[in-house]
Amino acid sequence: MAYSLFILSVLLSLTRGEPDWPKKSFRTGNWQPPHLSLGETGETDPGYIFIGVRKSNKAGTAPTIFDNNGDMVWQGPQRENLDFKTQKLFGQDVITYWDAQPDLRVLGYGATHILDSTYKEIYTVTLRDDFRTPSGKNFDSFIDGHEHYITPQNTMLVSALNFTQTDTSHLRRGTLNMWVLDSLFYEIDIKTNNVLFKWDALSHIPISKSSVTVKGGKWLHEAWDAYHINSVTSAKYGYLVNFRHIRSIFYINKDGSVRWQLSGDNDNHGDFQSNNVSFAWQHDVRVHNETDESLVLSLYNNAAMDHTDPGPSTGLVIYVDLVNKKAWRIYELIDPTDHIVSATQGSFQFLHSPRAGHMLVGYGSIPKLKEFDGNGNVVLRGQFGKDTFSANAYRIFKFPWRGTPHWDPVVSVNYTTSYTTDLYISWNGATDYDNWAIFSVPSRNSTLLEGKRLLVHERTGFETHVLLENINTRFIIAVARDGERILGKSSIVELGQINSVCPVLHEGRLQTLDRDMLK
């Protein structure tokens, strides 16, 4: 009832005409990312912010890279996506994201896309197996969007969901042949898409460990989601797997057996004693500094199954003593000025940079991010939508990244008067250029070597606006440069009417003007 009232209040706020969260738009392409508002309160780590924007407007729902000014750097295909990030593959930085065809009761069945630094898709990881789907449809790939993790062995761990019948008659409200949503993970060879390892929860973890009430299950489309896998990572002796609906983390040996369980509450009888470790409905569990004696775990603690739950949702770091079977909290990241409750999604990232100890938290269904320093103080706050679900992101990351797209820069021409020409120039995905050089060329078939440089304009955000006044040329090329080094160039653009006066400096924005080249 409380959740229904909350949704009603959201709908009423929309009908009252409250403004939508601002979105950016551009002349050079059909991109409309949400405005990323960033506020620094201390020294932050360098890097680009990776947000797989979801549930935004159609032209803003896409894997999107932002810089530290909140400007868009790259936007990928406009579709629902999850877990957009950089990873290492064969020693090189790549970007990865998941998208899918939607289906009932699940995020969808899809593939993981791996792109190199030119944004060419070099691998597409897919999964084929014997799956039942609620719609009865067959799909090209059955990867679930919760996880796609590249291991140090250059394989990929992916999550999957299968609708399965099993005996739950020993449980209250259980039945002999109940439909349940089984959680699986696979290790896949990236080059061949061959399955190297398969594991499913139903065969290894008693379903009685579930923390959610038994419900539904009479029909396939209402299967009981007893486990809900949402992260898998490689570990020294196997795999570390998180189950949101058991409120527990499981260490799985390479032979498939359960090595140990760390529970976030006292109801699931984990293998560790703790006085100050508490988490629930958690996401994005990762292992760090693993030895035979101890390891460190990081995770996003939703502490909520519903947005009316008290929360707060926090970042959590836990030290695990494997010898004495004890665990205790190292960090619990909370912003005292902002009580956040996110019932779904969320992420935690250690930032490996010169400022050791910084951590980034993405708040899942609440479109916010925060960077914390090693003392747990907030040094960066970011937001890209209203708290009322105007947008969200499954996980949010910050990474160093260098991209040089395999496509050309784009120029859009707009004429304001017969004596002025507005140019709008962008290069979706390029990170390393800092200025645009504008060259005139004799014809549509000319080369840059035949051109004469008219002016140089500094790069300003994603899309640079250059105002040409009384330009004496018909055809131009825009060249993206790092200093004097050419990185890319546009196709030849026709300006239209030829005027007779040289370009002039406009509002101090033209850095250089080679008048001798115009003669």
Nearest to 74 by CA among 424, 426, 433, 479: 426
* Rounded mean pLDDT for each run of 10 residues along the chain, 519 residues in total: 39 52 96 97 96 95 97 96 98 97 92 98 98 94 98 98 97 96 98 98 97 95 97 98 98 98 86 93 98 98 95 97 97 96 97 82 98 96 91 97 98 84 96 97 94 96 93 92 98 70 34 31
Query: In the 8-state DSSP scheme, what is residue 15?
Result: H
pLDDT of residue 505: 31
Q: How is residue 88 written in tokens?
A: 């290492």
- 331 neighbors 316 (Cβ within 8 angstroms): yes
- 54 neighbors 82 (Cβ within 8 angstroms): yes
Question: Which pTM value belongs to this model?
Answer: 0.91
Q: Would you list the domain boundaries of the chain?
A: 37-399, 410-494
CATH numeric code, 37-399: 2.130.10
Q: Please give the class, per CATH, of domain 410-494.
A: mainly beta
Query: Would the CATH topology of 37-399 be identical to that of 410-494?
Result: no
CA distance linking residue 429 with residue 477, whole number of Å: 19
pLDDT of residue 415: 79
Per DSSP, the chain holds a count of helices (H) and strands (E) of 1, 34
Strand partners, 398: 49
pLDDT of residue 354: 60
User: Could you give the 3-state DSSP secondary structure of residue 47?
Assistant: coil
pLDDT per residue over 320-351, tens digit each?
999 999 999 999 999 999 999 999 999 999 99
The rounded percent of the chain whose pLDDT value lies above 70 is 91
Q: How is residue 446 written in tokens?
A: 């000319």
Q: How is residue 132 written in tokens?
A: 């039942």
Phi, psi (degrees; rounded to nearest 5) at 443? -155, 175
Query: In the 8-state DSSP scheme, what is residue 516?
Result: G
* CA-CA-CA-CA dihedral for 222, 227, 230, 232, to nearest 10: -140
Query: In the 8-state DSSP scheme, what is residue 33?
Result: P
HEC per residue, 380-438? EEEECCCCCCCCEEEEEEEECCCCCCCCCCEEEEEEEECCEEEEEEECCCCCCCCEEEE
pLDDT of residue 517: 29
The contacts of residue 166 (CB under 8 Å, 6+ apart) are 177, 178, 180, 202, 207
- Beta-sheet pairing, 63-66 with 48-54: antiparallel
Is the bond preceding residue 312 a cis peptide, omega within 30 degrees?
Answer: yes
Residues 450, 453, 459, 463: is their CA dihedral positive or negative?
negative
Provide the CA 442 distance to its chain's centre, in angstroms: 45
pLDDT per residue over 493-503, tens digit each?
998 644 333 33
- 327 neighbors 319 (Cβ within 8 angstroms): yes
CA-based max dimension of the chain: 90
Environment class of 119 (CB within 10 Å of its CB; exposed 0-12, middle 13-18, buried 19+): middle
CA distance linking residue 28 with residue 65, whole number of Å: 17
pLDDT of residue 266: 73
